[in-house]
Amino acid sequence: MNYEYEPLCRQAIEIVERVGRFIRQETGRVTEQAIEEKSLNSLVSYVDKNAEQQLAEALGELLPGSVFLTEEDTVDNQSGEWQWIIDPLDGTTNFLFQIPVFSISVALQQEGRSVLGIVYEINRQECFYAWLGGGAFLNGRPIRVSSRAPLEKTLLATGFPYYDYRRMAPFFKVLEHFMRHTRGIRRLGSAAVDLAYVACGRYDGFFEYSLNPWDVAAGAFIVQEAGGVVSDFNGGGNYLNGGEIIAANAAVAADMQQVLRNAFYAS
């Protein structure tokens, strides 16, 4: 099957924004009894599951024969020529505590290569998106990563470990370095939003470990289409399945990689 990515992306955006309205309407309505703990500090509610079902049904109709990789396992996760990678509610804890930073993240891969990505920040109704070779956009406006450098002039973002504490020592080492050598570090609680903010230049870089493909697939692709650099902590390309990611503007990406490589992998 051959598809033009731009119209496919725009049709997918309509689906994502519709599901975003459902999530926004449910904010503050989830009772404590309706919250499940999938694993340590990993929360889920009927909102995540319902949103994922809505997305999978509509995106499956949009692209017949496509398969899915999703966070909540409401549909069978499969491999195929066309695969949607979906996080129906990135920032579930924020959502449940009514902290207004959470998003929908949807990426599409064709034969293992990302061809479109959408991150919809639900409360601000900001839709970040990109398709292969088309650049990146925010609500219809082209976006680019920043050009700020050196590292001392940048603002970075990260996510704090909330279940995997095995790499805390190098993580704290990195935090101290960046605290001393940047304008500051932010932690919003939605990796997809962090990546989108790198893509539009609000942040100059982002790093985190223990993430899943559905957390980063869309945002990382948008960063790349916006002119940014995405890698694992070693500077390699295993950021989707390797559980660690750096996304940054090209002016400081190498410096960030060096700091993280030295902390996490230096013998």
Q: Which residue has the higher pLDDT, 83 or 3?
A: 83
3-state class (DSSP) for residue 65 = coil
Residue 2 has pLDDT above 50, yes or no: no
Does one domain contain both 239 and 131?
no
Does one domain contain both 194 and 230?
yes
Q: Number of structural domains, the chain?
A: 2
Does one domain contain both 22 and 137?
yes
Does one domain contain both 122 and 235?
no
Does one domain contain both 135 and 182?
no
Name the domain boundary from 142, 159, 180. Answer: 142
Q: Are 156 and 203 in contact (CB under 8 A)?
A: yes
Does one domain contain both 135 and 161?
no
pTM reported for the whole predicted model? 0.95
- Nearest CA among 243, 244, 248 for reference residue 178: 248
- 3-state DSSP helix/strand/coil % of the chain, to nearest 5: 35, 25, 35
**CATH number of the structural domain spanning residue 23:** 3.30.540.10
**Which pLDDT belongs to residue 77?**
81
Could you tell me the residue range of the domain that residue 11 belongs to?
5-142
Does one domain contain both 249 and 157?
yes
Helix (H) or strand (E) holding 209: strand 205-209
Q: Are 128 and 118 in contact (CB under 8 A)?
A: yes
Rounded Cα gap, residues 65 and 158, in angstroms: 36
pLDDT, tens digit, 9 for 90 and up, residues 85-108: 999 999 999 999 999 999 999 999
Name the domain boundary from 142, 159, 183. Answer: 142
**CATH number of the structural domain spanning residue 250:** 3.40.190.80
pLDDT, tens digit, 9 for 90 and up, residues 31-78: 888 888 876 657 788 999 999 999 999 999 999 999 999 988 788 788
Name the domain boundary from 142, 172, 199. Answer: 142
Helix (H) or strand (E) holding 192: helix 191-199
